Chains A and B, each alone.
Chain A
Amino acid sequence: MTDFEALRTAIIKGKRNDVTAIVQAALEEKEDINRLLDEGMIPAMREIGDKFSRNEAYVPELLIAARAMQTGLALLEPLIAASGRKSIGKIAIGTVKGDLHDIGKNLVAIMLKGAGYDVIDLGVNCDTAKYDSAVKQGADIVACSSLLTTTMPYMREVVEHFKGTHVKVIIGGAPVTQAFADEIGADGYSEDANGAVKLVDSLYHRAS
């Protein structure tokens, strides 16, 4: 019988060998993949995200938890498609055109994946055509990041580009504020990576 508490703890502590052992044992026992994800792995990443928001965890702890999560997901991935599990949402994320910074963007991508979302990571220097390519792959939320005051204005172009479509545009990054998001008509703004998950939850009408 799967020890879900041990699985959650292993992810939160970043112990990927423990995660591997627990997930492999669970698969041998024909454990329900949805239970592994929904009762073990995803709540663990949400918990570390909440600790991050409360300054009880920092980037190193977040990164090792995400790595442990990825180790477990890699074992499950071949079975997820076959299980018929439905995506809870697909998000395209990228640093906007003119900007090559990616640490903040990567943290948001990690947290969204950890929360169970499908994430298309477009990398850096993304123009509207790049975001469009992800929308064609099914993304219905576009998350834009920027570190520089000089690249932040491109977010307005992205918002304008998707205006009138079903695609929602959310923004974040060092110089970005709620006031700027309101000014350009973005569908949401988040201060940090965990906040981005809660924002996406709210856009998909999911309880955090």
Chain B
Amino acid sequence: MTELTGKERVARQLKHQPVDRIAVMEQFWSHTISHWVEQGVFPAGESPEDHFHLDIAMNWSFNLKINPDMQDRLVAEDEDTKTFLDGNGATMRRYKGHDTTPEHLGYSINTCEDWKEKAKPFLTPERKRIAFESYRREKRHCEEKGRFFCWAGVNVFESIHPICGHENFLMAMALDPDWVRDMVDTYADLWIHLMEILIAEEGKPDGIWFFEDMGFKGRPFMSPEMYRELIQPAHSRTIAFAHSLGLPVLMHSCGFVEPLLPGMVEAGIDCLQAMEVKAGMDLLRIYQNFGDRIALMGGLDVRPITKNDRPGILRELESKVPIVMKKNGFLLHSDHSIPESTDYDSYRYFLENGLRIGTYPS
């Protein structure tokens, strides 16, 4: 087969159609790239997509915060951390030295009444929530490079916990499902309306990439029944909207979400991404059970890459990629992101060997 563009390759793989080689995508903690820049092995200002010739790029185009005008406001600082108040009214602490999920210290939305008064009335589809220019620029760049361009952002689960906290949200799922349904419907409506505005003005992306972390080590946050009752309706609706525009949907989830996967497939996802090995996700088992119905991206243990363990990297690639590429629906990616302890050459080794193994015979 002649060499495909990234856009052609990914589009075909999401439909399980034959390709020249598996597509590749990767995410890096921001300090990983800056660390490599400092070491002089990565050109300053260049994107990882351009540098490593990745097949997918994404653009975070929506601001779904309750107050989209509010920038994170510094409220405290110590030697190691900075604490901010954000546009959701949440107080969160971040490390200065490395990039990771922030610690959430407090929320302004703690009850259904708070939600109705301080959040829901403000979650309206205003133009100021959309980063038109950034979307336009990335879309154009992807077209020039022949890359698959994804609108990227959060779906409902990842929209709601930042306003009220995981624990409060999860308790509400058990105690006040009507409140949860209201939040879920509100965010699904908001997303659909914003997407209508964006596409009317700027045109369609090639795909939709939802971040939706619904699991942790060894289990999902909620039961499959609770997922189907409270979250799946919004997933089905947003995904159906994307499909009505001809757009495939890739969904990222951290943690162990295999028990939710039948429901996510019913909701219509075209590709599952990340599949964290350390959380218990097993790429080969998922491929066996779902590989006919959805494409899979990731599931390759990042720990050997992080430890710069070349035999371990090769073992991980050789034991999985030849199997999961058989139905044309596997895309190369680590099982989450590349952390800053990773040597540039180790990532290169993973990438080059992954693509060598993932090349189909001509």
Contacts and interface: CB of A to CB of B under 8 A. Distances in A.
Interface of A: 14, 55, 57-61, 63-64, 67, 98-104, 106, 124-125, 148-150, 173-175, 191-192
B173 A60 contact: yes
B175 A64 contact: yes
The CB with the most chain B CB atoms within 10 A, among A100, A104, A125, A149, is that of A100
Nearest to A149: B306
Contacts of A124: 103
A150 to B, nearest CB: 6
B352 to A, nearest CB: 23
A58 B221 contact: yes
A174 B279 contact: yes
B110 interface: no
Contact of B103 (A101, A173, A175): A101
Given A59-B221, A60-B226, A148 B216 contact: no
Contacts of B220: 58
Given A61-B174, A103-B166, A149 B339 contact: yes
Interface of B: 80-81, 93-95, 98, 100-103, 166-167, 170-171, 173-175, 216-223, 226, 259, 276, 278-279, 302-303, 306, 339-341
B222 A104 contact: no
Contact of A104 (B93, B171, B217, B226): B217
A100 B102 contact: yes
Nearest to B256: A174
A100 B226 contact: no
Contact of B278 (A14, A63, A64, A175): A175
Given A63-B167, A174-B279, A58 B218 contact: no
Contact of B339 (A101, A103, A150): A150
Given A100-B95, A102-B103, A174-B216, A60 B259 contact: no
Nearest to B222: A58
Nearest to A100: B103
Given A149-B339, A191-B218, A192-B218, A101 B170 contact: no
Q: Is the interface of B mostly helix, strand, loop or mixed?
A: mixed
A149 B309 CA distance: 14
Contact of A58 (B94, B95, B219, B306): B219
Contact of A60 (B171, B217, B340): B171
9 contacts: A58-B226, A63-B171, A64-B171, A64-B174, A67-B171, A100-B100, A100-B101, A100-B102, A150-B341
Q: Is the interface of A mostly helix, strand, loop or mixed?
A: loop
Contacts of B80: 125
B358 to A, nearest CB: 25
A150 B278 CA distance: 14
A175 B173 CA distance: 28
Contacts of A58: 219-223, 226
A108 to B, nearest CB: 12
A71 to B, nearest CB: 13
Given A60-B171, A60-B174, A100 B218 contact: no
Given A101-B101, A191-B218, 11 more contacts: A55-B259, A58-B219, A59-B221, A61-B174, A63-B170, A67-B171, A98-B95, A103-B166, A150-B98, A150-B340, A150-B341
A105 B173 CA distance: 21
Nearest to A123: B103
Nearest to B279: A174
A106 B166 CA distance: 11
B222 A174 contact: no
A123 B187 CA distance: 31
A60 B218 contact: no
Contacts of B341: 149-150
B100 to A, nearest CB: 6
Contacts of B226: 58, 60
Contacts of A61: 174
Contacts of B95: 98, 100
A55 to B, nearest CB: 7
A69 to B, nearest CB: 13
B216 A175 contact: no
Contacts of B223: 55, 57-58
Contacts of A64: 171, 174-175
